[in-house]
Chains A and B, each alone.
Chain A
Amino acid sequence: MYDDMVTARYYEERLQEEYLEGKQPAFDISAGPIPGELHLAAGHEASGAGVCRHLRDVDTVTAPHRPHHVAIAKGVDLKRMTAEIFGRQTGLGKGKGGHMHLFDPDVNFACSGIIAQGCPPAVGAALASKKRNQDSVAVAFLGEGAIDQGGFFESLNLASVQELPVVFVVEDNDWAISMPKSRVTDVEDGSRRADGFDLPGVRVDHDDAVAVYEAAGEAIGRARDGNGPTLIEVQVHRRMGHFMGDAQAYRPDEDKERATERDSIERIEADLREQGVEDHEIESIREKAHDRVNEAIEWAKDQPEPDPEEAYEDVFTNSPSGVEEIEPMLEATGGDE
């Protein structure tokens, strides 16, 4: 669990460096080796690691727009994920998806950048598992800002009434971009939303990976045993802006400080030390994580970019005849430079 957390943290620190290349001093979102939006999850690691430790490759995870820590914990191929973020041909989605849209069928991982819209597919994966009499489960991750979305409520209801093996994990970092939780809901404890659907709701405070691990173990066990869904809300912290380039002018300084004071990684390190784990052991886990991350990033950067013609592939699995004719009549010129 600790190794997943430090891998995720270090991975994002490295991504951040790469992302900012070419975007300094003036931040231009479309410049540099990684364009587009980048949502980092520093401060969220406890939930991804604590939950996914209970999962096998056959179990499904759907992640939202802030997916890296969850993907790493679920065992998504780190090299191909990185290549995808760099928009390379050998990336998970051949450069078509990018950082918010990571798909790895080997470990049943999928993403959506549309808020809460990973919930219904997770319910669908759980439905498939139940219909086939399998014991695989599905987990949908989403932010506290996403739990006002209709798709979330509909998913809770369907999962509950069908007793499906699915767990909803809400990462409560108190902010949805610039909107504090208090501005958009009167219910501070998001796990209470489970009440309305007659399913168990649990809240884990203080970025405590061990407590997340325990709560998730119970929920996932219940799901595997055919006893239906659970909603878990985990208090995490957003140590950074919503996306890279977000100056956070809307956010009080105290809140930014508070978010960095409580650190799930420091906390689990303290736990480990208390249990007698020695510093050199912790150091060696860190080193391994760093090596793995550096290797993935170097590999990814060496990968080729896709050929422009590949833009037309993969729209369908079985291309209907005639689809090719929809391509532009002109010779491709590669856009404006």
Chain B
Amino acid sequence: MAQKTQSAERELTMSRAMVEAIATEMRESEEVFVMGEDIADYGGIFDSTQGLLDEFGHERIMDVPIAETGFIGAGVGAAQSGMRPIVELMFADFFGVCMDQIYNNMAKNTYMSGGAFSVPMVLMTAVGGTYNDAAQHSQTLYGTFAHLPGMKVVVPSTAYDAKGLMHNAIRDDDPVVFMFHKRLMGIGWMPAPDGPKTGVPEDPYTIPFGEASVQREGSDVTVVTLGLHVHRALDAAETLADDGIDAEVIDLRTLKPLDTDTVLESVRKTGRLVVVDEDYRSYGVTGEIVATVAEDALADLEAVERLALPDVPIPYSRPLEDEVIPGVEDIADAVRMVQG
């Protein structure tokens, strides 16, 4: 169940951890390859494929035309042919030009074929704001992808998790959307908070999907979140501890499947729930978690608060972006609200 980050001598950034998993799987199997824009010589705009070209060459680390419908659909076809493609959509925001391949093929072909076909493909994509890149380059869109049946949706927040989840994603026989937050990758030009760089064992290991991680145990309130906001919630929890409020912080790690047990167990203990998400509020992750808890633990629930983007496209200017993306203080305030 709850699996904590293991300590290891060696610390890696989240991008190095992802790359290590991909490289290991590529060595194991010729069927694994990577396709995307700027993933070869550049190593991925967010370092998601850094260094792979040297070992595997352009045949297996393939730069492709800027034509996402074409190459993501080709990924589906290759996967249905039994290969294990890892395809990168540079920013999740660009899904608009290629959603048909993602949603009507990648996600549905297993079902529509009555299980005759499987689509063992990983769609890896960068999400998140906090560097003022405005409305077309800053979304997280967790909810959009998790809303559509047929895809598994993974959102790591640490290097340890990123490696284990990536191994699992590549080995999984179903389509997996692997959504990594840019701010967590440890890229030179976009400093990460301290949290995502963790100890990572050198040997391969998998983290099963559908197992949330309790990042901080606490007795007063449950904070459920994912991605970058795990680290913001942990910072908020430190502040709150000074005020005598003991917050439990749960990192969902995967949205599909969703580990409702860990969330419910925690809420039964604390009686108070705050859900934090960098995605839009309406019809999103926060609503889903609150509804789940309301269905199954209503009697234990004393207070609820949710923090998410207030249904506005992400603005460019710094004061505007800061206003809409939940910050550490916002999370601490939300926790204080449910504390009453």
B288 smallest CB distance to A (angstroms): 17
Given contacts A98-B316, A311-B320, 15 further A-B contacts (CB under 8 A): A87-B318, A95-B319, A96-B320, A98-B133, A98-B317, A113-B136, A114-B94, A148-B67, A245-B189, A307-B319, A332-B323, A333-B333, A334-B319, A335-B321, A336-B329
Residue pair B325, A335 in contact (C-beta under 8 Å): yes
Closest to B315 in A: A96
A306 to B324, CA, bound (A): 13
Interface check B134, CB cutoff 8 A = yes
Contact of A326 among B136, B311, B323, B329 (CB under 8 A): B311
Q: With A145-B66, A311-B315, A326-B310 in contact, do A36 and B322 touch (Cβ < 8 Å)?
A: no
State how many angstroms separate the Cβ of A46 from the closest Cβ of chain B. Answer: 23
Q: Mark B312-340, 1 if CB is under 8 A from A, else 0.
A: 11011111111111111110011001000
| A-contact 0/1 string along B157-173, CB 8 Å cutoff | 00000000000000000
B244 within 8 A of A: no
- Measured in the bound complex, the distance between the Cα atoms of B98 and A151 in whole Å is 11
Q: Does A30 interact with chain B (Cβ within 8 Å)? A: yes
Nearest-neighbor residue (CB-CB) of A143 within chain B: B66
Interface of B is mostly: loop
The answer to whether A162 has its CB under 8 Å from any CB of chain B is: no
Complex CA–CA separation, A95 to B314 (angstroms): 11
Q: In the assembled complex, which residues on chain A have CB atoms less than 8 Å from the CB atom of B322?
A: 308, 334-336
A96 near B135: Cβ-Cβ < 8 Å: yes
Q: Which of B27-35, B38-46, B201-209, B216-224 contacts A (4 or more CB under 8 A)?
A: B38-46
In contact, A315 and B136 (Cβ under 8 angstroms): no
Which of A2-10, A124-132, A177-185 makes up part of the contact surface?
A177-185
Answer whether residue B105 sits at the interface, using C-beta atoms and an 8 A cutoff: no
Cβ-neighbour of A95 out of B38, B96, B320, B327 (below 8 A): B320
Residues of A within 8 A of B40 (CB): 178
- By the criterion CB–CB under 8 Å, are A312 and B136 in contact? no
Binary B-proximity of A142-185 (CB < 8 A = 1, otherwise 0): 00011011110000000000000000000000001111000111
A101-B189 contact in complex given A95-B320, A336-B328, C-beta closer than 8 Å: no
B312 near A176: Cβ-Cβ < 8 Å: no
B69 within 8 A of A: yes
Contacts of A332 in B (CB 8 A): 323
- Which residue on A lies nearest to B316, using beta carbons? A98
A326, chain B: closest CB distance, angstroms: 5
Whole-angstrom distance between the alpha carbons of A30 and B321 in the complex? Answer: 12
Checking A29, A117, A150, A330 against B190 with a beta-carbon cut-off of 8 angstroms, the contacting residue is A29
**Contact residues in B for A146 (Cβ distance below 8 Å):** 66
In the complex, chain B residues whose CB is within 8 Å of the CB of A179: 37-38, 41, 63, 66
Q: A98-B133, A306-B319 are in contact. Are A328 and B307 (CB under 8 A)?
A: yes
Question: How many residues from B make CB contacts under 8 Å with A?
Answer: 58
In Å, the complex CA distance between A120 and B321 comes to: 29
Instruction: Say yes or no: B311 contacts A112, CB within 8 Å.
Output: no
Across the interface, name the chain B residue whose C-beta is closest to A308.
B323
Closest A residue to B191 by beta carbon equals A28
B131 contacts A by Cβ under 8 Å: yes
- Encoded as 1 (CB less than 8 Å from any A CB) or 0, chain B from 175 to 188 comes to 00000000000001
| A113 pairs with B137, CB closer than 8 A | yes
Residue contacts A-B, CB under 8 angstroms, 16 given: A27-B188, A27-B189, A87-B317, A95-B320, A96-B134, A98-B132, A100-B134, A145-B65, A178-B40, A305-B317, A306-B320, A312-B312, A327-B310, A330-B333, A333-B329, A333-B330
**Complex Cα spacing A194 to B40, Å:** 30
Q: Which residues of A contact B232 (CB under 8 A)?
A: 336
A311–B311 CA distance with the chains assembled, in angstroms: 10
A321 to B322, CA, bound (A): 26
Q: Is the CB of A97 within 8 A of B316?
A: yes
**Does B292 reach chain A (CB closer than 8 Å)?**
no
Provide the bound-state CA to CA distance between A178 and B64, in Å. Answer: 11
| A116 proximity list for chain B (CB < 8 A) | 66
Q: With A100-B134, A114-B136, A150-B69 known to touch, is A93 a contact of B312 (CB < 8 Å)?
A: no
Question: Closest approach, in angstroms, between the C-beta of A226 and any C-beta of chain B?
Answer: 31
Compute how far the CA of A253 lies from the CA of B126 in the bound complex, rounded to whole angstroms. 30
Check B70 for interface membership: any CB of A closer than 8 A.
yes
- Tell me which residues across on chain B come within 8 A of A306, comparing CB atoms: 315, 317, 319-320
**What is the CB-to-nearest-CB distance from B233 to chain A, in angstroms, rounded to a whole number?**
11
Give every chain B residue within 8 A of A184 (Cβ-Cβ): 63-66
A115: CB under 8 A from chain B? yes
Q: Chain B nearest CB: distance from A295 CB in Å?
A: 22
Interface pair A315/B311, CB less than 8 Å apart:
yes
